[in-house]
Chains A and B, each alone.
Chain A
Amino acid sequence: MVKFLKLYEKIGIFILIVFAGIFLAIASPNFLKTDTILNIITQGTYGVIVGFGMVLAITSGGFDLSVDAVVGLTSVFLSLLIPNIGIPSAIILSILISCFVGFLNGLIITKFGVNPLITTLSMATIIRGASLLIAKGRQIPISVEKFTVIGTGKLMGVPNPIWIMLVLFILFFLLLNQTPYGRHICAIGSNESAARVSGLNVTFVKIMVYVLVSFTASINGVIRTSQAMIGIPSMAPGFTLLVITITILGGTSLSGGKGNLIGAVFAGIFISMIYYGLNLIGVQYFYQLLSVGLVLLFALFVDGLRKRYLEAAKIKGIKV
């Protein structure tokens, strides 16, 4: 069992993708076409990009439930700012505002010692409310045509969101695995007291983690808004759960200390494949929702199993 779980940890998500791929290839003649596959991956990037941030948060022993609200906030600010200050400035400013939300999350969690779940859940509600207020409850169309390039354009035949995901992947991968900062995140998620005693700046590291989560959520907001060409305060409802599903299914341990970014990429693609398959059968949106919930439960189940067997292996003195 330990061996199986170890194997699953390494290649489990690939096997899931292969199975899903074989199934889809049989079920649909259109599946094995470049356009379809690129489309599936593009759909997957939404969750994956924010998943990168969530991997950091969960690795540090935290959690962020405010990502969907940040997407909406970014969308509203983009729609208001683009006509006034131009596209580049509008994007930068919107992202900075979102990062500030992450900063507030981190500040409340570290300085006041509030549970991250409750903090970010409250923050999500506050941000949603604020977005609706700022937009006066309306959806705000964007008329600057050029803006649509970000979400719908292609570079060398590959849709831009995939490029964005790749760039972010490289950045976050280096950050988590090759920098002292990444090491500190793992240390804090592993044993916060020990990290503190070892002289690490726990407060700074954690605040930055929440800033980075909001940063990824904001990037997601930019892409979505650019595709919709409309500022929607209530954009991406229920998105947070999808992001968490991708993170856990990708092999990031819920108990912290161990993050897996590559896994998140493939988990995102896998879920996107499920959506595609469900669309193929022609079932309703409700089933998609249901399936994400089921996948999350499955991922949590495996995570729990892994923890239990690791514990047992430790007691029995088996090397893992």
Chain B
Amino acid sequence: MTEISEGNVLLKMTGITKIFPGVTALKNVDFEVKYGEVHALVGENGAGKSTLIKILSGLYRPDGGEMLFEGKKVFFSDTRQAQLCKIAVIYQEFNLIPDLSVAENIFVGREPKTLGRLFINWRKLNAEARKILDRLDINLNPRKFVSDLSVAERQMAEIAKALSLDARLIIMDEPTATLTEKEVVKLFEIINELKKQQVSIIYISHRLEEAFKLSERITVLRDGEKIGTKNTSQTNQDEIVSMMVGKVVKDYFAGEKISEGKKEALLEVKNYTIANHVYDINFKLYKGEILGFAGVLGSGIHHMLRSIYGAAPRTKGEIFFNDKKVLIKNTNDAIKLGIGFVTEDRKGEGILYDMSVMQNLTIVVIKALTFLKGMFVKSAKEKKVFAQASKDLDIKFADLNQRIIFLSGGNQQKVIIGRTLISNCKVLILLEPTRGIDVGAKAEIHRIMRELANKGISIILSSSELAELVNLTDRCLVLYKGKMVAEFNRQNMDEEALVAAQIGQKINQT
């Protein structure tokens, strides 16, 4: 790599070290960002990305090393100082106040005043907000309340806020994790616009293809150490992935798919309608297959799958299980039939924070692991069940009484998958099972899914990562605005076709 003159470097971090009791989170890391550059920061969970970001934003103080910002030596002892230096961080969980408007949020604490600084100058507030939004060509009404905004719009508001603070460096932490493909395109436009205005961006994402699309350079961290910085144009995904995991990984998706056995429908859904969400959906799920669902926001897929599991109401429709008509009124009915459900909202609906790894896994079947007619829990039996499941799913934990929040995202996800599996599950519904999970764990979850399918369990997979659907599913159904618009099988499935179908483009099907 060519030497960069000091002049066009915005941020230079040298020898950054951060030690937590027992763990060295960052070891002598050098990192720099040039003016107007998008610098992607990648690495598996626990690689040290977030620690680095937290040092940059003033949340953590480094134990060693120094930082130069715009050529001046800086030291942040709190977040306010980082803000004064014009560094803004956009976290996955936004820091917006839902009950205020976009404009109020952008200028919160700095509202333009009128009448002797007593009142807020609304006209000026909204006009200024409009100006900032226009700078990035964002079509968003500044008077709208944040609580009424979509995730993507909130993100835009957050970016506008950063810009209004005259940020020179914006750090984006997994900005596309919850966006639809279309919204991602818009975000990329905004990022390119920021670049033109000489704003630098540190871009953190699990999705490598995005890093390649956007960035000038990519820095890889692993286990708290910097593995290297590459010019994006001179590297490829395989190289970056092997840098991240430390060994050469050719294809990080699960291997081959099963051959088509005799088709035996296990679950059939007929005329399924949920007002305002999905209309007249029909599909069959065969034994041992992985059925994918693709659709952008508003497709209604999550709503429908939730409703099939009994966690949301439906307007009309019938469900047949093993050719018998069944009525699923609540989640308990579904579990009794053998339908398992893994939520897309791991934090909100998945993990039981205060409970141990083992208790999290056994909670659904705990009634079966008892003596004296369901009175008391048999702890030996519970441990056995847990040991078996954690072996099958390769869950990594320090000890079984460890609280679940101290596991990595990937391992938490495995516990939740295990929770549904041990309750004699025949149909497994997975919503975004690999969201926010690092590459290694992702590959493992893909492998687990394939193994389960081979064992005869039918899987429904809803994912916004199209590559995942293409590589893993046997069939894929596409919903657009609540209606089924396309069905693909392995022969005619590819990413471009899925993208087109997802956004409602008519396609020629054979």
Contacts and interface: CB of A to CB of B under 8 A. Distances in A.
Given A187-B363, A195-B363, 4 more contacts: A257-B353, A258-B354, A317-B23, A320-B406
Interface in B348-374: 348-355, 359, 363-364, 366-367, 370, 374
A193 B349 contact: yes
A199 interface: yes
Contacts of A281: none
Interface stretch (A117-125, A136-144, A154-162, A176-184): A176-184
A84 interface: no
B352 A194 contact: yes
Interface stretch (B73-81, B193-201, B397-405): B397-405
Contact of A194 (B351, B370, B402): B351
Contacts of A277: none
B349 A194 contact: yes
A136 to B, nearest CB: 45
A308 interface: no
Contacts of A314: 405-406
A193 B363 CA distance: 14
Q: Report, nearest first, the 3 A-B pairs whose CB atoms are least far apart.
A: A257-B354, A190-B352, A199-B335
A314 B402 CA distance: 12
Contact of A190 (B311, B332, B353, B367): B353
B376 A178 contact: yes
A279 interface: no
20 contacts: A179-B375, A179-B377, A183-B366, A184-B366, A186-B352, A186-B359, A187-B352, A187-B355, A189-B354, A190-B353, A191-B348, A194-B350, A194-B351, A196-B311, A197-B341, A200-B364, A257-B354, A314-B406, A317-B406, A318-B23
A16 to B, nearest CB: 24
Contact of A193 (B21, B335, B348, B403): B348
A253 interface: yes
Interface residues of B, number: 39
A180 B377 CA distance: 6
Contacts of A284: none
Nearest to B368: A180
B332 A256 contact: no
Contacts of B25: 316-317
A183 B402 contact: no
A318 B419 CA distance: 25
Interface of B: 20-23, 25, 46, 311, 330-332, 334-335, 341, 343, 345, 348-355, 359, 363-364, 366-367, 370, 374-377, 398, 402-403, 405-406, 419
A194 B363 CA distance: 11
B152 to A, nearest CB: 24
A187 B349 CA distance: 11
B363 A198 contact: yes
Interface string A202-216: 000000000000000
A318 B311 CA distance: 35
Contacts of A179: 370, 375-377
A174 interface: yes
Contacts of B349: 191, 193-194, 196-197
Given A198-B331, A199-B332, A320-B403, A180 B367 contact: yes
Contact of A317 (B46, B350, B359, B374): B46
A28 interface: no
